[in-house]
Structure 1
C-alpha cells in the first residue's frame, strides 16, 4: 500500500470515527440462521462487542480456520481445521505451537495428539477445581442466569478487590489505574457499590 493511501485511510478513520456502515450478506438459509446471531454479537457496541471481537483476533492471522486455541501464560497452541474424516475419526489439518524461541507447525497427527493431551489436561484441571472447591456438594443450577444482576455483582467484587489492594498498599495497580477502574465501575453500572 502506498504511503499516500495509508495516510488517507488514517485520515478517513479520524474524520468518520463514528460513522455507521450498512452491511448486507447473502447466505444459504441454514448458514444464515447460525451466522446472523453471531454477526449481531460481533457488531455490538460496548464491552460485549469488544469482548466478542477480541476473542476472534486469532482468526485474522490464521491461514486455516482455528478449531481450538489453547493459551498459557506465555506459550500457546492452535489446532487448525477444517477437520478431515479419517474412518471413524475427525483429524485436524495441522496445528501451530508458539513458545519462547519456538514456532512449530504440526502435521495432522501431531496436532491431533496435542489436542488430545490438551483436552486431557484441561479436563484434569477442571475436575481438580471441582474437588478443591467442593462444587459437587452444591445443588445443580441452570447454566443461564440474570446477566444484569450477575454483571453488577461481578463488578462489585472487582471494585472490592481493588479497594482491598489499595488499603493493603501492595496493589498490583498503581493509584491512577485503581481510580480509573473504580470510575469505570460506577459509569458502567450507573449505581453505587451497595446494590444487587
Structure 2
C-alpha cells in the first residue's frame, strides 16, 4: 500500500512538471536564434538587454527584469541579472544558467557577482567564469574601477549607458569595485 502511494505521488509530480513545461514558455534545449534563446531561455520577463559580451564560447547577457510579485511581494525595484548562453544562429543556442540577482546596494551603486561554473560528466571544469556588474546611481560617480584580492592596483572599466541609466560590467574574479568622482576621490567601495 505504501509503495503504491509513493508511485502515485511520483507520477503526479512528474505530470505536474510536464504540464508546467507545456504551459510555460521557458524551454530547455537548443533555440534557433539568439532572440529566441533570450525569450525562452531566461525564466523571467526581460525588460531590457543592457549589455552582451562574448567570453570564449560563452555569451554573457546583462538584462533587467521585474521581480515576480509572488516571490518578492514587497519588491518595487527593477532587478539586474546576467544569463549565460553557448551556441550560434547556425548551430542553435543553449541557455547555460545564471539568472540570480543577489547584490549589495546603496544610494551610490549596486554590486552583483555572478559565478558561472560548468562541468563535464567526469567532473572536469568546462567553464570557470565570474561576472562583476552593477548599476551606478550617484551622478557624481564618473569612473568605476575593479580589482581582485590578490592584485595591487585597480583597473578602470567602461560605464555603459543604456536607456538613461548607467551600468558597469566586467568578466573576471574582481570582487572589489569602487566608484570615483571626477577628481579621483573614492565615493563608494564594495567588496573586499
Instruction: State the TM-score, normalizing by the size of structure 2.
Output: 0.26
**Structure possessing the higher radius of gyration over alpha carbons:** 1
Instruction: State the TM-score, normalizing by the size of structure 1.
Output: 0.26
Of Structure 1 and Structure 2, which has the larger fraction of its residues in helix? 1
**Greater relative CO (CA pairs within 8 A, separation 6+):** 2
